[in-house]
Amino acid sequence: MITELGHFALVLAFLVACVQVVVPLIGAHKRWPGWMAVAEPAANAQFLLVAFSFAALTYAFVTSDFSLRLVVLNSHSLKPMLYKVSGVWGNHEGSMLLWVLILSLFGATAAWFGGALPPTLKARVLAVQSAIGVAFYGFILFTSNPFLRMAAPPFDGEGLNPLLQDPGLAFHPPFLYLGYVGLSMAFSFAVAALIEGRVDAAWARWVRPWTLAAWIFLTIGIGLGSWWAYYELGWGGFWFWDPVENASFMPWLIAAALLHSAIVVEKRESLKSWTILLAIMAFGFSLIGTFIVRSGVITSVHAFANDPERGVFILAILAVFMGGALTLYAARAGAMEAKGVFSVVSRESGLVVNNILLAVAAFVVFIGTIWPLVAEIAFGRKLSVGAPFFNMAFTPFMVALGLILPVGAMLPWKRASLGRTFKKLLPAFVLALALAGLSWAVQSGRSLLGPVGLFLGSWLIFGAAVDLWTRTGKSGFKRLMRLPRADWGKSVAHSGLGVVMLAIAGLMAWEQEDIRVVQTGEPFEIAGYTLVLDSVDRVQGPNYISTMGTVSLSKDGKAISTLHPEKRTYPVSGMPTTEAGIDNGILRDIYVVIGDPQDDGGWAVRSYYKPLSNWIWGGAILMAIGGVLSLSDRRYRVAAGARKMTAAGVPAE
């Protein structure tokens, strides 16, 4: 019964969304306040209906209702509760429902917090947002309905893929979707502005918080996914340049570019049409990502049940929205006249270079991702484009970005002098160079990767610190705490990027690996640490059987910790997973994986010394914190302003 109600709610949401597209658009065009006002309650209704629908599906998973096809395919009565709930979005249909839930949530928040928006813009934004909703409700209802029943319900389900039975599943996809879908707001604002034919500083100020929020969520989502891969997959890789990872990385890069260009629109009323184009592209890449994940045209490790019909549907959505938006853009972009005038050396120019580097980097990733498809269709060549290509083709852009970032971030608006700005940064530059030199001297004749990464990372971190410090002027510390949050956000996020660069380079350059057959009780060494495999036991888990090793880790005779690398077998699916034993340290991880028993009674054991690995995610967290700080800056508190206005009883315009 609840299932049917959930299904019905989704159909209703579809209908409400249709109304929300048509009525406010006509209203905005004809300036009929009543028609425009429809958007707001419709957005709320849509959100409540989808939320109910999602709750109904969750209920079916929690109660293990095996009359529902989706539950049978993806759940099992013995599964721990956490995975029953997160199993809702551990599959194609459920994850699409989460997708539209977030989409309608963003639409509803625009209705809640959009009090300060001009009524026509607000109506149009909500209508465009709802149009995206219509497309995806249609997609779910016609190709991927999660509410299908079984004719003959089985006694138990087939279980969730063991690799997904991890707390990572509970958080990684929701954050990623919050990011992906959040970019739909930037898209809606861009299209609404094109329809209005007006982009000004106020528009940029409204659109930036949404983009910033989406970017923060994407950062967290990507970071979580990378961390999950690191501890779950058994060799401690953190990024594989897999098509689906790229699918989340491209919108991240474009969103980062958009964040920066929106500042130029806001402060200097320039780069308007470019910003609009970026907003359209950012969501375009989100849709492309959705297409890559769900259509199966590009082989990826993220296995979703794919079928061509779905791929075609998403391709059609992509074509309609991108084609429509870009046509509108071509017709209207010329009308957006830039106002600000600035010299070639200025903050504006720095941000233009930032945008070029980020956008081109995103396109390099894009071409690399779709090239196997292009080569096969156009030239009949079956080839692969993998990590080595991306490392080589993508990294130079990030190195260039890292080099110019501290300088660009400190250039004054309008007219600047490179020499004067660099002079302020000289201490940071020298310090970074010294650190790199030190690491070069300490490491014994290995690659330049480590020192270069260390230089870039510390140059970014120290540069961000100098930036913050010079903002205080002469009053020093007292002023530091009273700086606008946006200034703090900028420096924190930039140093976060520095931390990530430093950590990735350090990890790749100074990692050590050891593969061997180990007898229990016999010590072996890696990077100065001593490991002993004390015992190997069979342990019964809630829904799996584990072969668990006990490894004691020590250095110079001092015990540090005990690690438990595991190999788990899930009887329901018959699939094994590896759980690495990791000793997390500030400067390094010791990472141990247990393999197969050997004929001579020993065990195959892989161990790694992974320097700086935690800083990769630490840096991502810093970037996200920087984003949150910037988001909480006073000038973006649209909601606060709106609430005050209603309280004061300002009449609607």
Partner 1 sequence: MKRLILALILVAAPVWAVQPDEILDDPELEARARVISKDLRCLVCRNENIDDSNAELARDLRLLVRERLVAGDSDEEAVAYIVDRYGEYVLLNPTARGANWVLWAAGPIMLIAGLGLGLVYLRRRQATPERKIEALSDEEKARLAEIMDD
Does an H or E element contain 301, and which? Answer: none
**Backbone dihedral region for residue 236 (phi beyond 0: left; psi -120 to 50: alpha; all else: beta):** left
Of 319, 331, 387, 426, which one interacts with partner 1 (CB under 8 A)? 387
| Nearest-5° Cα angle at 313, 307 to 318 | 125
C-alpha distances (whole Å) from 336 to each of 3, 201, 266 are 49, 12, 14
Of 15, 418, 515, 539, which one interacts with partner 1 (CB under 8 A)? 515
Q: Which is nearer to partner 1, 3 or 86 (CB)?
A: 86
384 lies in the binding site for partner 1 (CB under 8 A): yes
284 lies in the binding site for partner 1 (CB under 8 A): no
Q: Which is nearer to partner 1, 7 or 122 (CB)?
A: 122
C-alpha distances (whole Å) from 633 to each of 195, 394, 428, 470 are 29, 33, 27, 19
> How many residues interact with partner 1 (rule CB under 8 A)?
74
263 lies in the binding site for partner 1 (CB under 8 A): no
Q: Tell me the one-letter amino acid at 431.
A: L
As measured in angstroms, the least distance from the Cβ of 413 to partner 1 is: 12
Q: Which is nearer to partner 1, 47 or 61 (CB)?
A: 61
**Backbone dihedral region for residue 606 (phi beyond 0: left; psi -120 to 50: alpha; all else: beta):** beta
469 lies in the binding site for partner 1 (CB under 8 A): no
348 lies in the binding site for partner 1 (CB under 8 A): yes
404 lies in the binding site for partner 1 (CB under 8 A): no
> Which residues have C-beta within 8 Å of that of residue 348, sequence separation ≥ 6?
264, 268, 270, 271, 340, 342, 413, 414
Of 232, 307, 487, 583, which one interacts with partner 1 (CB under 8 A)? 232
As measured in angstroms, the least distance from the Cβ of 381 to partner 1 is: 6
As measured in angstroms, the least distance from the Cβ of 508 to partner 1 is: 12
As measured in angstroms, the least distance from the Cβ of 399 to partner 1 is: 13
Instruction: Check if the beta carbon of residue 539 is closer than 8 Å to that of residue 549.
Output: no
Q: From residue 351 to residue 380, what is the string marking binding to partner 1 with x (rule CB under 8 A)?
A: -xx--xx-xx--xx--xx--x---x--xx-
* Paired strand residues for 575: 570
Of 316, 320, 383, 539, which one interacts with partner 1 (CB under 8 A)? 383
Strand pairing of 523-526 and 529-540?
antiparallel
Q: What sign does the CA torsion over 458, 459, 461, 465 have?
A: positive
Q: Which is nearer to partner 1, 334 or 557 (CB)?
A: 334
User: How long a stretch of residues is the chain?
Assistant: 653
Of 146, 223, 234, 451, which one interacts with partner 1 (CB under 8 A)? 234
Nearest-angstrom CA–CA distance, 428 and 463: 6
Backbone φ, ψ for residue 482 (5° rounding):
-100, 5
* Paired strand residues for 517: 604
As measured in angstroms, the least distance from the Cβ of 72 to partner 1 is: 19
Which 558-597 positions form the footprint of partner 1 (CB under 8 A)?
A: 575-577, 595-596
The residue assigned the tokens 């990024």 is: 239
As measured in angstroms, the least distance from the Cβ of 378 to partner 1 is: 7
Q: Which is nearer to partner 1, 236 or 463 (CB)?
A: 236
Say which DSSP state 160 is in: -
Backbone φ, ψ for residue 603 (5° rounding):
-125, 140
164 lies in the binding site for partner 1 (CB under 8 A): yes
As measured in angstroms, the least distance from the Cβ of 607 to partner 1 is: 12
Nearest-angstrom CA–CA distance, 470 and 410: 9
Which 290-319 positions form the footprint of partner 1 (CB under 8 A)?
A: 299-303
As measured in angstroms, the least distance from the Cβ of 446 to partner 1 is: 12
Instruction: Check if the beta carbon of residue 95 is closer than 8 Å to that of residue 86.
Output: no
Does an H or E element contain 547, and which? Answer: strand 545-555
Q: Which is nearer to partner 1, 144 or 270 (CB)?
A: 270
335 lies in the binding site for partner 1 (CB under 8 A): no
C-alpha distances (whole Å) from 563 to each of 408, 536, 550, 553 are 46, 12, 6, 7
Nearest-angstrom CA–CA distance, 270 and 272: 5
487 lies in the binding site for partner 1 (CB under 8 A): no
Q: What is the maximum alpha-carbon separation in the chain?
A: 85
Q: Which is nearer to partner 1, 392 or 586 (CB)?
A: 392
Q: Which is nearer to partner 1, 215 or 241 (CB)?
A: 241
Nearest-angstrom CA–CA distance, 174 and 420: 45
> Which residues have C-beta within 8 Å of that of residue 127, sequence separation ≥ 6?
20, 21, 22, 24, 25, 28, 39, 192
Q: Which is nearer to partner 1, 3 or 578 (CB)?
A: 578
Q: Which is nearer to partner 1, 10 or 364 (CB)?
A: 364
Q: Which is nearer to partner 1, 108 or 361 (CB)?
A: 361
As measured in angstroms, the least distance from the Cβ of 142 to partner 1 is: 25
Which 61-100 positions form the footprint of partner 1 (CB under 8 A)?
A: 90
Q: Which is nearer to partner 1, 182 or 225 (CB)?
A: 225
Q: Which is nearer to partner 1, 516 or 555 (CB)?
A: 516
Q: From residue 407 to residue 426, what is the string marking binding to partner 1 with x (rule CB under 8 A)?
A: --------------------
Nearest-angstrom CA–CA distance, 361 and 390: 10
Kindly indicate which of the ranges 178-186, 231-239, 325-333, 449-457 contains the residues binding partner 1, using the contact rule CB under 8 A. 231-239
Which 592-651 positions form the footprint of partner 1 (CB under 8 A)?
A: 595-596, 598, 604, 606, 640-641, 644-645, 650
Which 517-536 positions form the footprint of partner 1 (CB under 8 A)?
A: 517
Please report how many Cα atoms fall inside a 13 Å half-sphere around the Cα of residue 335, on the Cβ side: 13
As measured in angstroms, the least distance from the Cβ of 303 to partner 1 is: 5
What are the structure tokens assigned to 648, written together? 């004061």
Kindly indicate which of the ranges 176-184, 234-242, 456-464, 480-488 contains the residues binding partner 1, using the contact rule CB under 8 A. 234-242
> Which residues have C-beta within 8 Å of that of residue 118, sequence separation ≥ 6?
653
The residue assigned the tokens 């320039």 is: 270
Of 52, 83, 217, 342, which one interacts with partner 1 (CB under 8 A)? 342
Instruction: Check if the beta carbon of residue 638 is closer than 8 Å to that of residue 189.
Output: no
Q: Which is nearer to partner 1, 431 or 604 (CB)?
A: 604
As measured in angstroms, the least distance from the Cβ of 640 to partner 1 is: 8
